[in-house]
Amino acid sequence: MRTAYSVETVRGAERELMARLPEGALMQRAAAGLAAACAGLLRRTRGGVYGARVVLLVGPGDNGGDALYAGARLARRGAGVTAVPMDPERIHPGALAALRAAGGHLAPSVPQQADLVLDGLLGIGGRGGLRPAAAALVERIPSGVPVVAVDLPSGVDADTGEVAGSAVTADVTVTFGAYKPGLLIDPGASRAGAVHLVDIGLELPSPEVEALQHADVAGLLPEPTASSDKYRRGVVGIVAGSAQYPGAAVLAVAGALRGGAGAVRYVGPAADAVLARYPETLIGPGRVQAWVVGPGLGAGRAGEVAELLAGDAAVLVDADGLRGLDETALRARTAPTLLTPHAGEAAALLGVSRESVEAGRLDAVRVLAQRYGASVLLKGSTTLVASGGEAVRVNPTGTPWLATAGSGDVLSGLGGSLLAGGLSGADAGAVGAYLHGLAARRVGGPLLAHQVAEALPAAWRDTRHP
Ligand SMILES: NC(=O)C1=CN([C@@H]2O[C@H](COP(=O)(O)OP(=O)(O)OC[C@H]3O[C@@H](n4cnc5c(N)ncnc54)[C@H](O)[C@@H]3O)[C@@H](O)[C@H]2O)[C@@H](O)CC1
Ligand SMILES: Nc1ncnc2c1ncn2[C@@H]1O[C@H](COP(=O)(O)OP(=O)(O)O)[C@@H](O)[C@H]1O
Ligand SMILES: [K+]
């Protein structure tokens, strides 16, 4: 499991550790890790540190201090290091002295000839969009030169991944002590590049955000045992498709057949299309452990959604099923409930614009989960799953090629199948998104939704191999 912690939590852990260590020790640990990562990068890009031209963008706080101390270490190894301050009146004094003692110097503007740029403008102390002095330096980062962000790319909100205005786009982010949620959640995550964690010895409580990895997923997948039969493995029922959208039913069944349930039952007007493609499907109403309702349902079928929600089986609600959800009915449920909106559907549920959901994904998914008393999977770039007071799960797999018609239908069938196999709403959502994203990566791009479904068994097997 990869875990991420809020600024408040990180600061608390830092305070405790600093009280036990000599002054400045933590910053030295951070700077040593940062310099080592930069040296590694310079070895790969130009064969070594000696003679490299390194530019430091230096903010007024400790983030700038880290950059300066790391710059001093690189200067001692023969790099030519130039520091450009955001505000010449406010520079970490000890760190500047260390850089100067090592042969580095200050400059008023960003040199355009460089082998490496370190973004040490803002770290976890950054608030709101970059102010003009910081934004002006960011604009002058020469194109094509590798950028290493110190702790996090400046302009990215550490707690949420939100970006208000401009922000640094890094090739590598060297982060200290713990991942910050903003490094894992878009739009921040796609600014961070490859994230490298430097252990500075923090002791951390439970995380605010977490990302499953292969072993976590393998441990949650419902594998059959010697005593399994198809009913014990769980039956998933699919209520999807309409005369207008029969394909959604086929794709949801395609996902459900690969999610580990023992049987898939289809209820709706697209039975012929479903059977033509998947003769394994049971047709018509019957007992199930989990329902999937919504893909391609069309308008005017809220009664069917309400009926399923009034029952005691687990329910995954997607797409058209999300229209006019009854908050009270949802809150009264005791079986697992998983809602799977994309940003547009989430915006309709929240009564806000789609853009504001995209910009503040973490907040949106948390509010929805709380309001409906359900697990909520918010689709899109860096899919998120929230449930009650638990850590929000961020999906580390996936590809933008998934933004294609029908891929969400496959995900809903898959998630429902996992619910039928006994997973909780949060686990079914997180494991479903993980496999779905892994399958899509296996297919590559451009991809068709049914190919994602077909790649699910291979993705399932992949999770067993770290
Ligand atoms: N606290 C610790 O023990 C450690 C902290 N470390 C470093 O310290 C950093 C945090 O340092 P600070 O708390 O000094 O905070 P920062 O250095 O992240 O930034 C704070 C400064 O930036 C200014 N600022 C805030 N938002 C701005 C904006 N939008 N535009 C322009 N200026 C803005 C503030 O006025 C303040 O002066 C971490 O990210 C990490 O790099 C590391 O050295 C590891 C140890
Ligand atoms: N930019 C993106 N990056 C990664 N995944 C994406 C992106 N956009 C969409 N997706 C994924 O593609 C799928 C699309 O689902 P959805 O919007 O419901 O489409 P549909 O209703 O056509 O099936 C979801 O799994 C979503 O997370
Ligand atoms: K930074």
Which residues does ligand 2 sit against, CB inside 6 Å?
Answer: 319, 342, 379-381, 383, 398-400, 402-403, 405-409, 411, 436
Same-domain status, 377 and 442: yes
Same domain, yes or no: 302 and 400: yes
Distance from C-alpha of 366 to C-alpha of 182, rounded to nearest angstrom: 15
Q: CATH number of the domain that 271 lies in?
A: 3.40.1190.20
The answer to whether 127 is a known ligand-binding residue is yes
Ligand 1 neighbourhood includes 245 CB (under 6 angstroms): no
Give the model's pLDDT for residue 431: 98
Residue 220 and residue 153 share a domain: no
Of 153, 180, 210, which residue is a domain's last? 210
Domain C-terminal end among 210, 238, 271: 210
pLDDT at residue 141 in the model: 98
> CA 172, CA 168: separation in Å to the nearest integer?
11
pLDDT at 50: 98
Q: What is the CATH number of the domain that holds 126?
A: 3.40.50.10260
Q: What is the pLDDT of residue 389?
A: 87
Structure confidence at residue 131 (pLDDT): 97
pLDDT at position 324, please? 86
Give the 3-state secondary structure of 85-116.
ECCCCCCCHHHHHHHHHCCCEECCCCCCCCCE
Residues 282, 401, single domain; the answer is: yes
C-beta of 155 in contact with ligand 1 (< 6 A): no
Do the Cβ atoms of 384 and 361 come closer than 8 Å? yes
CA nearest 56: which of 123, 121, 3, 129? 121
Q: What is the pLDDT of residue 183?
A: 98
The residue range of the domain holding 6 is: 2-210
Residues 189, 285, single domain; the answer is no
- The domain total for the chain is 2
Encode pLDDT of 224-246 as tens digits: 999 999 989 999 999 999 999 99
pLDDT at res. 61:
98
Q: Are 24 and 162 contained in the same domain? A: yes
Close Cβ partners of 2 (under 8 Å, ≥ 6 residues apart): 179, 184, 210, 211, 213, 396
- Does one domain contain both 389 and 445? yes
> Tokens 């769980």, residue?
234
pLDDT of residue 242: 96
Whether ligand 1 lies within 6 angstroms of the CB of 54 is answered as no
Quote the pLDDT of residue 466. Answer: 78
Instruction: Return the structure tokens found at 290.
Output: 């989990």
Helix (H) or strand (E) holding 45: helix 25-46
Residues in the chain where the model's pLDDT stays below 50: none
The pLDDT assigned to 21 comes to 96
